Structure 1
């Protein structure tokens, strides 16, 4: 049995508070919410990827004895609810009115007495479609004559969404013109899906008497959802309450607002009853927010001895039928321009073009900080391509080009300022843990024709913690977060935060932050989240915002309370506040530690008849809104070892060493759990996960029979290491880690497989590296994976 040292106060290993209910099956998810008189909704979805709607006949469905309402786009159009804003300031049809633009798009919504009747009634709706040509390849979508998907938008005559770039193009071109070595490679990061434990769903309850809407929704951003519902439905924002209970996994999938949520609200308004809508698994995989789907061409300019001088990238980003990306307004391509990664170079430039296709809306921040996963994958593939060209060891090449500690804070060529890091130390630790020299010796000793062995390395830098709000907003809402802390007379505390946990352990780690700052045991701190009526405004949890932003807000508000406690303690001890010094849990008189008061004693006195100095209020409570001065930049070095069967293409991950630096660690056990999950995620994306489409736009990954997820069988025993370089601007020096492993691991796995295939002259192959794809690469017939057609 593993024992866990329980810290009496503050940071360190301790069991998660949340687990007591989860391991007993006592969690509360949206599908667990059942209200008196509740009705059930179901969505009719289009079988076509692109088709004009000729007519919709709902008479038979409305005549069903258990059906209470049938809602169509025409119904919503009369209520001015047919279209809603997306988080990227595009528009999206709630229910299609003119035509459908991807397979699985919402066409009608049935409200019935139970889930089964609602689903049965869908079969009674008769929709006449006029099929149209579909385009699912983002490159072909830009061709002249390609079918125009968003012809609903005034002036839209093609499928182009935006052009965006970063860096100095002229300076980059000049470096390339004088480079000794230039390598180029086309790289695809295919479309993948977050596939959360609980699918998306909502329970809407509109009270016609009070005019209040209460919404239970498994969203990652309750306050942002409330604001958008107010904008869409025209309800006063203070009359909308969004409750996000135990989310059941988010990974970015539960950031957007989906039409089913809006339909549940309309259904409740129309029927006067609560309405629950829950997707099934196929609906979730087919129609909710996807991620990745980037066609990238990378070029590296270098010297012959391996010094990287410049990086140039062109990207076509597939955003699906509606631009539903949840990322800051000023960055339509997300933070992709952190694509220079962890390397020192003279210049860099990227150009990104966003494109509409006949696919479900894409671009969610799936376990990555707004497209950094794609950027990290690209640069790490390009470094290995350069190593292949120069016949240089990939570890040596990376060590030669990594940023050095004395270069921080480091201004990147594309405008970011990295906060802190010791990159060479992290890489060396990973190599030492893996026994890199011995692995290379084992690889060299393998006889030709036998099982193949590959060693893959990746080094990544993430940019997390969006704001600052002067640079970053979504729908005009600045990306800052609030925190409220109150210490009761008995010394117990309640912290209210605006971010929403989906498994990150907020109820534990935030209590530990308060404990560290005030000296209150973590078990005496209750953390409240997921209810807009009970928490301060904030933009939610995604892009590893929790610890960098809301964790900082927690530390700041606790320090405000601590300072207020100083004023009360000064009255209790009859000394000037400046004569008091703090030690964890108490204020004492300088020079006489026996004269002091604990935070619990001070809390009780703050509510008593104690006479306080003029201008000093009683009670120990405070609020704050934290606007981060900069992002934080966690990083890591990963080493993956694989064995490949050349006869079948089967890949087995033998070992995986992960060294992460996320600054100060609040609870190392939770950090390790986050890393474990991200590493498994990376193996899945590298080796098996793919949402594919045929030429007609039919989704070929709409079940777990087709969309494969990693299990314990595919994952090795992870070997974790750490370095700690605190963020200089974060109140506790933390950087965030929730997405790091997902950012760094796919490149390590792919680099390992391609390292194994080096004897066959294979320089690159696109993910996922399934046995069939690996076997074809060995045969000299690599295929692209953006389409399932071979």
Structure 2
């Protein structure tokens, strides 16, 4: 074998290929791009949460030297760009014309020769606002006398954004509760938080009036879906729009939606005939782009004979002023009804209603598969509340109530089919790493000395990899992904994807899949993505779809190439297809391993003038569109150990044990990096991250001085473990992991804080974030900290 064939290939702890350019400062982000003749755009945003717009005077701004244009809603009406669809089949004003419905809503856009002049001009636009009463509490928004927010919608008489959605069996659930020997109820809030990616949102739009071609540079998570939306909004032929996504400084769901700023940039380029660049600042990102969570959840849980039997949930989802929640069309409440969690319930019933409020549109899937994060938080808090009531160890209650290994595939009481799992084993691995019994003894000793130590547990099952064509689409677009693979005459390969990386290591992981399937060294596989002219159509990256869907597509397309290579090998070896066997990198004759031909020699033959199988036209390539048969269901057991300072109420996460089962791991190092990042985000959500509003609808967290995110000082050295239960329907047995740590960590930390405070202070419930002020108020017997 040649030296190139001797190099290690396939799965394993391969260092990320893309990191070399990042650590050298050679990344190519949106703000690095400069185009000839490019001008800059800035957006005027409303200072009010709810106000009528009586007039807009732009004359002073237009008179400022360097200003090329000022765009208002009236201008967009002329262009046919006044309204845009959201991904929940709602409509959203690109620029407010009649009234503003949340603080930070887009009112006007200025185009100028540089960004400083554009921002200066914003101060010269005179808007006559007539303030209206605002409502930022979702419960109050449902009151009969609440101000009507969406009076632009014909027939809208209240602030409901959608009809109540239900899942499960209400009668069976009532029966389970009637027969139960223990029932616990809680009102639980998952507060509004923000993905806060390092790189904010932005776009460069370059419309050529002579050709009608629109080139877009934009760091978004679903380039093909964005292109389809822009084609509809702007009335352009889709093939005349090209989106190119370079390196993206984080997404976490924040870069899934189409924002009004994007449409304004397109309109600006159409008006000006030159490239228009818009980059939002941090305050704009925090105040007006896609939020997450903001759920008010009322729940009851019951048990009989020491086992959880039933769950009842009633949810109010705050969607802000426009319903732009990212979720499949047929599931208006997302996958919230995976609220059954990891438990073998007798029955469950869940109701969810969406509500308009005078807040920025919310509902992005912040490192979350369509509301599963909120559902897991609810059920894991309820299980701990039930364990407190029953005076049993929270792990013991979980172990008695888990779905058993021999019950898989398991259909939940709300209709989802979990593919595989061994929950008991994963929980035991976490307990072993933590030294659970020793921890409980340490806790008892510290309690005797008046120290506040808490141990919190969570166990989650997540549904990722949306989705099967028959069940899932967004805006009518099926949630499938494509992959194209071509092996060049030199033996080098290029695989093109519809997935879009924002730091997950796609260039490495997908190269490893091709390497494993074909025996080509991963460094010889180039991964292309982020260019709609050069990649197959697909619905992008969110909901942990990368490996479950795009990874499966890459595996399938590699196998199609391998099958083509088999036919060529049969011609070279002068034998029948059925007489050949595959080993990594070569086909050989069964029973005679020496008689074989490598993938490299097969590739040479594919491009040569020598004989090929009948019907072959040369070359070695394939294309697929992968339609997953089901979601995949990763799961995990998390244990958090916290210390609460009795004098300051500061919570310190001292240890965090995370045992994830994400099926087969392609690159364990990348998996561990994803888990580390998600756990850090989970700690931030549990302890400090929250977007709040005053009674007038003013956002109180418009900068990183007010919206705190965790640093290395707030996170411990994570202790990771794993179990491996392959997904039975995924070509590689993989399940996905990118969102799991964000799903499982907040309830573990909250449960730990309550565990620390319950015996000494009687605290049996506390909502996130666990700030010192909130924890101190709870220790003093107050439900909320002083304002």
TM bucket, shorter chain: over 0.9
Partner of 1:225: 226
Partner of 1:362: 362
Consecutive unaligned residues in structure 1, runs of 5 or more = 1-5
Within 2, Cα distance between the matches of 1:444 and 1:495? 56
Is the CA contact 2:570–2:577 (under 8 Å) kept in the aligned structure 1? yes
Partner of 1:256: 257
Deviation at 1:647, TM superposition (A): 1.7
Within 1, Cα distance between the matches of 2:120 and 2:232? 33
Residues 682-704 of structure 1, C-alpha deviations (whole Å, 9 max, x = no match): 10000000000000000001000
Is the CA contact 2:302–2:386 (under 8 Å) kept in the aligned structure 1? no
Partner of 1:216: 217
Query: Against the structure 1 CA distance between its residues 708 and 256, is the aligned structure 2 distance closer, same or farther, given a 3 Å change threshold?
Result: same
Partner of 2:548: 548
Indicate whether 1:186 and 2:191 are aligned.
no
Deviation at 1:259, TM superposition (A): 0.6
Within 1, Cα distance between the matches of 2:251 and 2:447? 46
Residues 570-617 of structure 1, C-alpha deviations (whole Å, 9 max, x = no match): 111111111111100001111111111110110010011122232233
Q: Which stretch shifts more, 607-616 or 429-438?
A: 607-616
Partner of 2:764: 763
Deviation at 1:645, TM superposition (A): 1.0
Residues 731-760 of structure 1, C-alpha deviations (whole Å, 9 max, x = no match): 000000000000000000000000000121
Deviation at 1:447, TM superposition (A): 4.5
Within 2, Cα distance between the matches of 1:13 and 1:352? 42
Within 2, Cα distance between the matches of 1:529 and 1:500? 6
Within 2, Cα distance between the matches of 1:513 and 1:643? 43
Is the CA contact 2:39–2:111 (under 8 Å) kept in the aligned structure 1? yes
Is the CA contact 2:204–2:265 (under 8 Å) kept in the aligned structure 1? yes
Partner of 1:3: none
Query: Against the structure 1 CA distance between its residues 654 and 71, is the aligned structure 2 distance closer, same or farther, given a 3 Å change threshold?
Result: same
Partner of 1:424: 424
Is the CA contact 2:81–2:267 (under 8 Å) kept in the aligned structure 1? no
Within 1, Cα distance between the matches of 2:209 and 2:73? 23
Q: Which stretch shifts more, 404-413 or 446-455?
A: 446-455
Is the CA contact 2:549–2:626 (under 8 Å) kept in the aligned structure 1? yes
Partner of 1:401: 401
Within 2, Cα distance between the matches of 1:457 and 1:616? 58
Deviation at 1:675, TM superposition (A): 0.2
Is the CA contact 1:218–1:254 (under 8 Å) kept in the aligned structure 2? yes
Indicate whether 1:287 and 2:277 are aligned.
no
Within 1, Cα distance between the matches of 2:122 and 2:379? 47
Within 2, Cα distance between the matches of 1:280 and 1:173? 51
Partner of 2:267: 266
Deviation at 1:448, TM superposition (A): 4.6
Is the CA contact 1:372–1:462 (under 8 Å) kept in the aligned structure 2? yes
Partner of 1:100: 100
Q: Aligned ranges for residues 726-745 of structure 1 at < 5 Å?
A: 726-745=726-745
Partner of 1:475: 475
Is the CA contact 2:343–2:402 (under 8 Å) kept in the aligned structure 1? yes
Indicate whether 1:616 and 2:616 are aligned.
yes
Within 2, Cα distance between the matches of 1:242 and 1:622? 24
Indicate whether 1:450 and 2:459 are aligned.
no
Partner of 1:207: 208
Within 2, Cα distance between the matches of 1:770 and 1:394? 24
SS in 1 for 2:446: coil
Indicate whether 1:131 and 2:131 are aligned.
yes
Is the CA contact 2:160–2:354 (under 8 Å) kept in the aligned structure 1? yes
Within 2, Cα distance between the matches of 1:625 and 1:347? 37
Is the CA contact 2:504–2:674 (under 8 Å) kept in the aligned structure 1? yes
SS in 1 for 2:376: helix
Q: Which stretch shifts more, 615-624 or 763-772?
A: 615-624
Is the CA contact 1:224–1:538 (under 8 Å) kept in the aligned structure 2? yes
SS in 2 for 1:527: strand
Q: Aligned ranges for residues 70-109 of structure 1 at < 5 Å?
A: 70-109=70-109
SS in 2 for 1:173: helix
Query: Against the structure 1 CA distance between its residues 7 and 329, is the aligned structure 2 distance closer, same or farther, given a 3 Å change threshold?
Result: farther
Is the CA contact 1:7–1:13 (under 8 Å) kept in the aligned structure 2? no
Within 2, Cα distance between the matches of 1:464 and 1:744? 14
Within 1, Cα distance between the matches of 2:318 and 2:89? 17
Deviation at 1:172, TM superposition (A): 0.7
Deviation at 1:64, TM superposition (A): 1.1
Q: Aligned ranges for residues 676-691 of structure 1 at < 5 Å?
A: 676-691=676-691
Is the CA contact 1:567–1:616 (under 8 Å) kept in the aligned structure 2? no
Q: Which stretch shifts more, 156-165 or 521-530?
A: 156-165
Q: Aligned ranges for residues 322-471 of structure 1 at < 5 Å?
A: 322-448=322-448, 450-471=450-471
Deviation at 1:450, TM superposition (A): 2.6
Partner of 2:178: 177
SS in 1 for 2:158: coil
Within 1, Cα distance between the matches of 2:12 and 2:554? 17
Partner of 2:713: 713
Is the CA contact 2:221–2:502 (under 8 Å) kept in the aligned structure 1? yes
Is the CA contact 1:67–1:118 (under 8 Å) kept in the aligned structure 2? yes
Deviation at 1:769, TM superposition (A): 0.5
Residues 693-739 of structure 1, C-alpha deviations (whole Å, 9 max, x = no match): 00000000100000000000000000000000000000000000000
Partner of 1:148: 148
Within 2, Cα distance between the matches of 1:470 and 1:216? 32
Is the CA contact 1:568–1:618 (under 8 Å) kept in the aligned structure 2? no
Is the CA contact 2:447–2:453 (under 8 Å) kept in the aligned structure 1? no
Is the CA contact 2:387–2:394 (under 8 Å) kept in the aligned structure 1? yes
Partner of 1:234: 235
Q: Which stretch shifts more, 657-666 or 442-451?
A: 442-451
Is the CA contact 2:686–2:769 (under 8 Å) kept in the aligned structure 1? yes
Residues 416-452 of structure 1, C-alpha deviations (whole Å, 9 max, x = no match): 0000000000001101110110110111112456320
Partner of 1:780: 781
Within 1, Cα distance between the matches of 2:98 and 2:655? 53
Within 1, Cα distance between the matches of 2:782 and 2:221? 42
Within 2, Cα distance between the matches of 1:629 and 1:548? 11
Indicate whether 1:523 and 2:529 are aligned.
no
Within 1, Cα distance between the matches of 2:317 and 2:449? 40
SS in 2 for 1:322: coil
Within 2, Cα distance between the matches of 1:519 and 1:182? 57
Within 2, Cα distance between the matches of 1:449 and 1:185? 31
Within 2, Cα distance between the matches of 1:70 and 1:464? 43
Is the CA contact 1:606–1:619 (under 8 Å) kept in the aligned structure 2? yes
Deviation at 1:646, TM superposition (A): 1.7
SS in 1 for 2:625: strand
Residues 66-106 of structure 1, C-alpha deviations (whole Å, 9 max, x = no match): 00010000100112211100011100010001100000000
Is the CA contact 1:455–1:756 (under 8 Å) kept in the aligned structure 2? yes
Partner of 2:3: none
Is the CA contact 1:318–1:357 (under 8 Å) kept in the aligned structure 2? yes
Partner of 2:38: 38
Query: Against the structure 1 CA distance between its residues 572 and 374, is the aligned structure 2 distance closer, same or farther, given a 3 Å change threshold?
Result: same
Is the CA contact 1:291–1:366 (under 8 Å) kept in the aligned structure 2? yes
Consecutive unaligned residues in structure 2, runs of 5 or more = 1-5
SS in 2 for 1:40: strand
SS in 1 for 2:340: coil
Residues 92-143 of structure 1, C-alpha deviations (whole Å, 9 max, x = no match): 0100011000000000000000000000000010000000000000000000
Within 1, Cα distance between the matches of 2:34 and 2:662? 40
Residues 604-660 of structure 1, C-alpha deviations (whole Å, 9 max, x = no match): 100111222322332110000000000000000000000001221110111000000
Is the CA contact 1:466–1:549 (under 8 Å) kept in the aligned structure 2? yes
